[in-house]
Structure 1
Amino acid sequence: MKKILIALAASMLGAACSGPKSQPCEGEVNLLPASAFDTVLDGKAVSLHTLRNENGMTAQITGFGARVVALWVPDAEGGFRDVVWGYESIADYLAADDKFSGPVVGRYGNRIGKGRFELDGKEYALTINDGENHLHGGSDGFWNKVWDVRPFETPDGEQAVALSYVSPDGEEGYPGTLSIEAVYTLTRDNALKIEYRARTDAPTVVNPTSHNYFNLHGSTSGSTNSHVLTIHADRFTPTDEGLIPTGELAPVAGTPLDFTSPVAIGERIESDFAPMIPARGYDHNWVLNKDGNEMSLAAEVYEPATGIVMKVLTDQPALQFYSGNFMDGTGTGKRGDRHDYRTGIALETQNYPDAPNHADFPSAVLRPGEEYTHTCVYAFEVRKPGAEE
């Protein structure tokens, strides 16, 4: 009966609009058709999978790069907004200039300086794809692979999908054959939970993360400078001009990187603070206020115009916040939205960038017989305009 009610609610949400399919009515959940993603890449089938809960929140996920394609969440007026960047077809993803819209990136998310690290006395050279550095797993990383997909329902009745990929020894320069799984669960309390697990047959390094671009206006209908951000971190990792950590852990107090209290992203984004100049704004790693790997609240984002609140929880030690400083409007996504300057933010739960080259950073090494685990939760709420935080 519950499944029938969910299906009926979804059909009602999609039936109210008589306009073009790519232009939803205000507040309507307008799903992308699975047929737009049905293809074969590298001999493997690509598909699109839709997850729903009883509240009408909806996520669409494809096996190409284990990407989140759409994420419809409730707003303060009783409607729904699609709060992630994405494209309307697999052809659009393949043609896009920005390859990091929504996928799982890895093996190592973020940067490794000069694409080199030493492990057990041996030096490894990775693909260089970001100046003189290695970024997000290289030029053919997890984001460019077709993952195997297994939809299922949790024991609690929540819709989920498990995506898995086997990265062969030597791929992008990484040692060891790595088997990784990313499980997306749409919870009944309006959260998208991502759980990673990985094993290896030889010592390697691993740090996958989700690289969604969020806009709580609803896709790219407004600048993210108006979003009010809190990050529960007293320190960050300063970087050189190539955005590689120097090894220092510096306090955020008294700097534009202090989000320990809620601040609009645009309020200090044009600061001449030296660590922000190479990044043209915010593109930094915050060291979360926590000990160990317990789940904790890492960040909170609030958009006053829509009332949407997104909370980011994780068991990881750090969070990368990127404010869309290199977006230039040349890309066009769902519903014809232009990917303009600072119309999407990334909040990536992670280990520190370049951790394999810093003995004082948390270890990124995974060895045979061990299991890498990582949980990230993007939880959504609604705050009425004028309500107390």
Structure 2
Amino acid sequence: MLMSTHGEADAAPKPGVQKAVFGTMPDGREAYLFTLRNAAGMEVQVTNYGAYLVSCTAPDKQGKFENVTLGVPTFADYLKGTPNMGPVVGRFGNRIARGRFTLDGQEYKLAVNNGVNHLHGGLTGFDKKLWTATTKDGAEPAVTLHYTSPDGEEGYPGTLSVDVTYTLQKDNGLRIDYKATTDKPTVLNLTNHAYFNLSGMKHDAMNHVLSINADHFLPTDNTQIPTGERRPVAGTVFDFRKPTVVGERINDTAEEQIRFGNGYDHCWVFAEKPTALRLGATLYEPRSGRYMEMLTTEPAVQLYTGNHLNGKLQGREGVPFTRRYGLCLETQHFPDSPNKPDFPTTTLRPGETYKSTTLYRFSAK
């Protein structure tokens, strides 16, 4: 039921979307696995449990398609929980200091589930919900997942209506569109938390070559809450303006910020203000030749290098996910924005529509 790979000599699959039962929730509801295929041979699998990106194949320089996102083997494994291997996290991706914020003069208290802070929507975030799904067949197949988050869920105000659409494009792009509305003022910061490994799970991600179109990053305190400063990357281990091997400076513990994150776990602020979909980062794996472009409408990206993976979880390929086996490029607004008036606002009000798009486009060179 899980993803297959396609060799160069395989006949091109018919593009479209297929639906299969993935597993059963504790309350008896069925979760589904949706397989999207394009004519080029790329395959993406999504489940409506947690809006997880379950797998995503991409071609190497010989034309061989292999899975490039970390995931666990079975639905039961997803139910047990993962370190956010591919779900949509929300309502608020990333951290909110001390699990509280004030909006329009009223304080809201959230779960504290990451040290002293709130992380990725709380104890039962969007990654643990069963979404409804509708599919669109054709040359660019898509699945749209919907979830209505009730007023007060995980402490957040407002009934929130959320749609996330995964579209597999003809040019081997995976496009993720987010849309949401609310009936009360609330805060919102949605992202997908996929871990990428362009080697096809052959080795960890430290040889990957990364570029990020960002002149500044957000330094944090020792609990990983931004201090409010936007620090230039120039002259630091956070400078990825030119393609740089991820592992080259990741252990430079003379840098306090590396110590705070146990590696990279920081937010980079893009050089250009968001006006439309534009290139935010690139990722290249030299041995396979796989190359990924990340385009987004968001103002920032959190690079997380899998610093807390410990080998206890094993992927579908039979490989244990040891430290830094994958890396995340989580497009988003800034962490702790509700408590930082100088940061771009994450407030959503009735009558407004939250919209965000991120595109991961794969090729080889």
Same fold (TM over 0.5): yes
Instruction: Tell me what 1:111 maps to.
Output: 95
Name the CA distance, whole Å, in 1 between partners of 2:316 and 2:6. 18
Question: What letter is aligned with 2:76?
Answer: A
Structure 2, unaligned runs of 5 or more: none
Secondary structure in 2 matching 1:297: strand
Name the CA distance, whole Å, in 2 between partners of 1:133 and 1:13. 43
Structure 1 residues 65 and 12, CA gap change in structure 2 (3 angstroms): closer
Question: What letter is aligned with 2:235?
Answer: G
Match of 1:47 among 14, 28, 32: 32
Q: CA offset at residue 37 of structure 1?
A: 1.3
Deviation per CA, 1:228-287, whole angstroms, max 9, x where unpaired?
000000001110001000011000000000000010001101112111111111000000
Name the CA distance, whole Å, in 2 between partners of 1:34 and 1:163. 13
Question: What letter is aligned with 2:197?
Answer: N
Deviation per CA, 1:304-332, whole angstroms, max 9, x where unpaired?
00000011100000000001111111111
Are residues 1:229 and 2:186 paired? no
Q: CA offset at residue 204 of structure 1?
A: 0.1
TM-score (normalised: structure 1)? 0.88
Q: Contact 1:41–1:146 at 8 Å: present in 2 too? A: no
Instruction: Tell me what 2:70 maps to.
Output: 85
Q: Contact 1:93–1:99 at 8 Å: present in 2 too? A: no
Cα RMSD of the aligned pairs, angstroms, is 2.1
Are residues 1:136 and 2:120 paired? yes
Secondary structure in 1 matching 2:195: coil
Structure 1 residues 37 and 261, CA gap change in structure 2 (3 angstroms): same
Structure 1 residues 115 and 247, CA gap change in structure 2 (3 angstroms): same
Instruction: Tell me what 2:331 maps to.
Output: 349
Tell me whether 208-217 or 72-81 shows the greater mean CA deviation.
72-81
Tell me whether 86-95 or 253-262 shows the greater mean CA deviation.
86-95
Instruction: Tell me what 2:306 maps to.
Output: 324
Secondary structure in 2 matching 1:375: strand
Instruction: Tell me what 1:298 maps to.
Output: 280
Equivalent residues in 2 for 1:1-389, closer than 5 Å: 13=6, 37-42=22-27, 44-96=29-81, 98-153=82-137, 157-218=139-200, 220-272=201-253, 273-383=255-365
Name the CA distance, whole Å, in 1 between partners of 2:282 and 2:269. 15
Secondary structure in 2 matching 1:254: coil
Question: What letter is aligned with 1:103?
Answer: P
Deviation per CA, 1:65-91, whole angstroms, max 9, x where unpaired?
000111011111121110001122111
Secondary structure in 2 matching 1:47: strand
Secondary structure in 2 matching 1:356: helix
Q: Contact 1:36–1:88 at 8 Å: present in 2 too? A: no
Secondary structure in 2 matching 1:277: helix
Q: Contact 1:293–1:317 at 8 Å: present in 2 too? A: no
Structure 1 residues 207 and 89, CA gap change in structure 2 (3 angstroms): same
Q: CA offset at residue 337 of structure 1?
A: 1.6
TM-score (normalised: structure 2)? 0.94
Q: Contact 1:207–1:350 at 8 Å: present in 2 too? A: yes
Question: What letter is aligned with 2:295?
Answer: L
Secondary structure in 1 matching 2:101: strand
Name the CA distance, whole Å, in 1 between partners of 2:33 and 2:274. 36
Question: What letter is aligned with 1:282?
Answer: Y
Name the CA distance, whole Å, in 1 between partners of 2:132 and 2:42. 24
Secondary structure in 1 matching 2:260: coil
Name the CA distance, whole Å, in 2 between partners of 1:244 and 1:12. 40
Name the CA distance, whole Å, in 1 between partners of 2:34 and 2:142. 9
Q: Contact 2:22–2:30 at 8 Å: present in 1 too? A: no
Structure 1, unaligned runs of 5 or more: 1-9, 18-27, 384-389
Flag the structure with higher helix content.
1
Q: CA offset at residue 201 of structure 1?
A: 0.5
Q: Contact 1:99–1:143 at 8 Å: present in 2 too? A: no
Secondary structure in 2 matching 1:247: coil
Name the CA distance, whole Å, in 2 between partners of 1:215 and 1:11. 17
Q: Contact 1:84–1:215 at 8 Å: present in 2 too? A: yes
